[in-house]
Amino acid sequence: MIKIVFSDIDGTFLTNDHRVTKKTEDAVKLLLDKNIPFVLVSARMPEAIYPITNKIGIKIPIISYSGGLVLTKEEEVLYSKTIAKEHTEAVLKAIDDGWKDVTVNYYVGRRWFVRDVNDKRVKYEMDITEATAENADFRELMNNQIMPNKILIMCDPPICEEMERELGKMFPPLNVVRSSKFLLEIMDKSVSKATGINVMLKHYGLTAAEALGFGDNYNDVDMFKLVGTAVVMGNAPDPVKKYANEITATNEDSGIWEYLTKYAIV
Rounded Cα distance between 90 and 93, Å, is 5
- List the alpha helices (DSSP H) in the chain: 22-33, 50-56, 85-98, 120-129, 138-143, 157-170, 193-204, 221-226, 238-241, 255-262
Question: How does DSSP classify residue 13?
Answer: I
Please state, in angstroms and as integers, the Cα–Cα distance from residue 71 to each residue in 49, 59, 171, following that order: 11, 11, 28
Annotated catalytic residue: which of 8, 10, 188, 216? 8
Cα dihedral 243, 262, 49, 84 in deg (nearest 10): -20
Backbone φ and ψ of 213, nearest 5°:
-130, 130
Q: Are 186 and 174 in contact (CB under 8 A)?
A: yes
Catalytic residue check, 8: yes
Nearest Cα residue to 176 out of 152, 159, 156, 194: 152
Q: Are 210 and 198 in contact (CB under 8 A)?
A: no
CB atoms under 10 Å from CB of 157, counted, come to: 12
Helices and strands, counts by H and E, the chain: 10, 14
Which amino acid is it at 229?
Answer: T
Q: Are 145 and 112 in contact (CB under 8 A)?
A: no
**Which residues are the active-site residues?**
8
